[in-house]
Amino acid sequence: MSAPVRIGTRASVLATTQSRLVADRIAELLGREVELVEISTEGDRSQAAGTPLAGTSTTGVFVSALRDALLDGRVDVAVHSLKDLPTYPAEGIVLAAIPGREDPRDVVVARDGLSLGELPVGSRVGTGSPRRAAQLRALGLGVDVDGVRGNVDSRIAKVRSGEYDAVVLARAGLARIGRLDEATEVLDPLQVLPAPGQGALAVECRHDDDLAVQLREVLDDPRARAAVEAERAVLATLEGGCSAPIGALAELVEGDDGEELWVRAIALSPDGGLSVRMSATGDPADAAGVGDRLAREMLADGAADLAKPENDHSLDKVQNA
């Protein structure tokens, strides 16, 4: 009998729930036994300690420990929230599968069932994301956007206790842990574009492991992969030329000659006062190329200048999460 497939996961409720979804699919489709192996990451330790991450590069802080466990053979598969993955490749590791994607939009969890627009001026809205913070400020609603750290439970608890009037979270996370009914509003991407890859899972394996090929065949969703590849290409190209908050969303839509990939992206100054917003369409088979070209147009239109100090008039600094 084959040895169990060991799946590396962070220990949070959301992470283990997501990993269990992948584990159940592997058991069902490959007929293999599976077991979850909890791995502590730098991001988890900093959250538990309340250590600020602002001012440092946080891309990958929830990922590197899982990848280390994969490379040294402690686990056979690593499951991540795809938006946490760095855009550059990891030596010895392959993105074996991107399963079907959850709704990528952001949601508001507010007191008294309020929507974002119904919150009084001066209300305290929490987010750990510069992307969300900049776009919330750009809406001009008069709310105070403050940094917040912690897992989904602790962030929602801050609303219930009255410390915050609302927090903004990923819809996918609430849906996966069965708490979507606590969202008081789903934000239209016209207002707030999600993070590249939000709502998608990344299933990684060692590049020389036959399991990677098997998982690609049974778990990968080509439509989700095309959308995510376009969004991550936007992020990778923009990161090469600017450090501004970035949102991106790609969707497959029916065009005149079959399916087309439609990509929307935004880069903003931290205070939301300045932004470059563009969209593009193209062939899903050239998803990364569509995203890259869109990002280059944004850089040419001034995205590279958005994060300069003279364009940041924000009083409230938020932390990465």
Pick the closest to residue 92 from 113, 106, 78 (CA basis): 78
Q: Are 165 and 125 in contact (CB under 8 A)?
A: yes
Q: Give me the residues paired with residue 261 across strands.
A: 252, 282
Q: Give me the residues paired with residue 254 across strands.
A: 259
DSSP 231-299: HHHHHHHHHTT--S-EEEEEEEEEETTEEEEEEEEEEE-TTSSSEEEEEEEE-GGGHHHHHHHHHHHHH
Locate 209 and state its tokens. 């492991």
Instruction: Report the distance separating Cα 179 and Cα 3, nearest Å.
Output: 35
Pick the closest to residue 199 from 215, 218, 186 (CA basis): 186
Instruction: Report the distance separating Cα 174 and Cα 298, nearest Å.
Output: 32
Burial 256-271, CB ≥16 within 10 A → b, else e = eeeebbbbbbbbbbbb
Cβ-in-10-Å burial (0-12, 13-18, 19+) of 2 comes to exposed
| 165 in catalytic set | no
Which of 84, 106, 165, 292 does the annotation list as catalytic?
A: 84
Instruction: Report the distance separating Cα 115 and Cα 128, nearest Å.
Output: 19
3-class state of residue 220 by DSSP: coil
Give catalytic residues, as residue numbers. Answer: 84
